[in-house]
Amino acid sequence: MASAEQLRPVVVSGPSGSGKSTLLKRLFQDYPNKFGFSVSHTTRSPRPNEKDGVHYHFVSREQFEELIKQNKFIEYTEFSNNLYGTSIGAVRAVADEGKCCILDIELQGVKSVKKTDLNARFLFVAPPSLQVLEERLRNRGTESEDAMQARLKAAKEELAYAAEEGAHDRVIVNDNLDIAYEQFRKFIVDCN
């Protein structure tokens, strides 16, 4: 088993619709036991089938706010009156189990991971163009027109950041899926 130091987390980011989920799904199919996701914290109540520490770390709002104060989160957000967050400790716990942690996060999260000592590797999935991105989002059929415009605006910001020197260790353009996947797979697997 690789030691925790060797299992550097991999941060996968890129505009909504660039193909992160598609590429990650394929990676997990090819390597069912090599990778893991961190367990998030939430203030919402567990559903009957949910186990603390497995599906989420269920905490009170007071506990969650204390963790925020202690800078324990990479990112957190409020949704439907409940707080959700990814803690630095939860990412580390994946490596402690001998798995490489994959973080699928947005721009703010990427910047936040860089401020930690997680020693992550950063991979950016870019669409071939904004036009193609828009087409793929429209074809996916999951977005309202408002959500579409918000996603395209965010995409422009992500692409501008990705163009900065040293923003990511690797940028993969997801044009032909098979070619993109091979580059994606190689980057993630080769250094772990």
Ligand X SMILES: Nc1ncnc2c1ncn2[C@@H]1O[C@H](COP(=O)(O)OP(=O)(O)OP(=O)(O)O)[C@@H](O)[C@H]1O
Residues that bind ligand X (CB under 6 A): 14, 16-22, 136, 139-140, 174, 177, 180
Q: Which is nearer to ligand X, 50 or 182 (CB)?
A: 182
Work out how close the CB of 136 gets to ligand X at its nearest, in angstroms, rounded to a whole number. 4
Closest approach, Cβ 122 to ligand X, in A, equals 15
User: Which is closer to ligand X, CB of 20 or CB of 168?
Assistant: 20
Least CB distance to ligand X at residue 59 (A): 26
- Minimum distance of ligand X from residue 14's CB (angstroms): 6
Phi, psi of 187 (to 5 degrees): -60, -45
If the CB atoms of residues 120 and 133 are measured against ligand X, the closer one turns out to be 133
Amino acid at 53: G
User: Between 17 and 109, whose beta carbon lies closer to ligand X?
Assistant: 17
What DSSP string runs through 123-188?
A: EEEE-S-HHHHHHHHHHHT---HHHHHHHHHHHHHHHHHHTSTTS-SEEEE-SSHHHHHHHHHHHH
Residue 24 and residue 185: Cα distance in Å, rounded?
Answer: 9
